[in-house]
A = this chain, B = another copy of it.
Amino acid sequence: MSALYDLWYWPSIPGRGEFVRLALEAAGIIYREPARENGVDALLGDMENRHGIRPYAPPYVTNGAETVAQVALILDWLGRRHGFASEDAAVATQLMQLQLTVTDIVAEIHDTHHPISTGAYYADQKDAAKKAALSFRSERMPKYFDYFEDALSARSGPFVLGAGWSHVDSSLWLLMEGLDYAFPNRMAELAPDYPRLAACRHAFAKLDNVAAYLRSDRRMPFNEDGIFRHYPELDSKGSDA
């Protein structure tokens, strides 16, 4: 069967591309990754050849005529076509609202290790990063977790929509996995207070397609070039240290 979509992303990190990859895998959609097959120059070349309304940055997804960038928009677009958003327009809008709030926390997570400049090394902004990470761990994580826990209480069942997974659940799964990797001490303190997030995570990982993906070599481990980075100095024990 030929691929329905090309997913374009940096080949050496899970990064923001993983939110898209995970949803494609969970939905069992056939896709190709040109930059993982042919290297980063394929991605840079593809970006350079685009003009007019184009992606600002990877990830983006193409299916011949159409190109869609921005993680939340890609997920909404794919979800409506492949049954992991909602056929009810008002509900699909609510899912997008939640997905955009995942986008917000992901940007804040990136800023814990790069508070000054995306273009500068971590080592050159480590002092600011320590302060930013303290604020993120103590103030932002509980506020976002309260918010998502509340969203998961809207219906009965492990997922935001109840029984069936949506792109919000796949993104919450990756968010929690990434936070476990980046901030294991803080997560050990916080996670027990959020049983619905835990149940969502558990149920999502048990989906057949997801379980198969997680065992495959298509899944990349987190690393210190991506969004979720483990720098022990940014995860002091206790929220106030």
Contacts and interface: CB of A to CB of B under 8 A. Distances in A.
Interface of A: 51-56, 65-66, 68-70, 72-73, 77, 90, 93-94, 96-98, 100-101, 104, 107, 111, 115-120, 125, 128, 131-132, 135, 139, 144, 147, 150-151, 153-154, 160
Given A70-B100, A93-B73, A147 B117 contact: no
Contact of A117 (B93, B118, B119, B135): B135
Contacts of A54: 147, 150-151
A115 B125 CA distance: 11
Contacts of A118: 135
17 contacts: A51-B150, A52-B150, A53-B94, A53-B97, A56-B101, A56-B104, A56-B147, A65-B90, A69-B97, A73-B93, A73-B97, A73-B100, A111-B111, A116-B131, A117-B131, A117-B132, A119-B135
Contact of A153 (B52, B77, B116): B52
Oligomeric state, in copies: 2
Main secondary structure of the interface of A (DSSP, over half): helix
Nearest to A139: B119
B153 A51 contact: yes
